[in-house]
Amino acid sequence: MIVSQRKKQIGMPGDIVPVLQSILAAEHETDRDKEHFWVIGLNGANVIQYIELVSLGLINRTLVHPREVFRFAISKAVCSIIVAHNHPSGDPTPSADDLACTRQLVDAGQVVGIRVLDHVIMTVEGHYFSMMEKGVLH
């Protein structure tokens, strides 16, 4: 995690995109074209407590399981999380798998008492799709 971003407050979905872009830019060149799935843990004031890379996948897919998404969130006792991943294709439109994954994570979050505030899909160019903004999260 980039330490300077640790105390950044997230007020809207687009606030997380430059943070993740800087993390992605710091990756080794061979990994930048792969999907990355991050979990951003937030306190009650929506200030970043940590950013964790949960999965590094292939060019068009990554595996995500609630167990890995919530493991650190539970141990750090955060109030909520934002999940995010990149689409190396340059199109931030969610796939059917992205939507199903989000639903599963929201349901798991309800069980463990950690709210999933958003799932942001971003591109290296800075375009993004926020499931919260688009009304996909209820």
Per-residue confidence in pLDDT tens, the chain, 138 aa: 444 455 788 999 889 999 998 998 888 777 888 999 999 999 999 999 999 999 998 766 678 999 999 999 999 999 999 999 999 999 999 999 999 999 999 999 999 999 999 999 999 888 999 999 999 886
pLDDT score, position 57:
84
d(CA 66, CA 59): 21
pLDDT score, position 5:
52
Task: Match 């639903």 to its residue by tokens.
Answer: 103
Among the residues of 27-80, which ranges form H helices? 29-32, 66-75
H-helix or E-strand spanning residue 83: strand 80-86
Give me the CATH code for the 3-130 domain, please: 3.40.140.10
d(CA 42, CA 44): 7
pLDDT score, position 85:
95
H-helix or E-strand spanning residue 101: helix 96-112
Residue-range domain boundaries for the chain: 3-130
d(CA 57, CA 132): 24
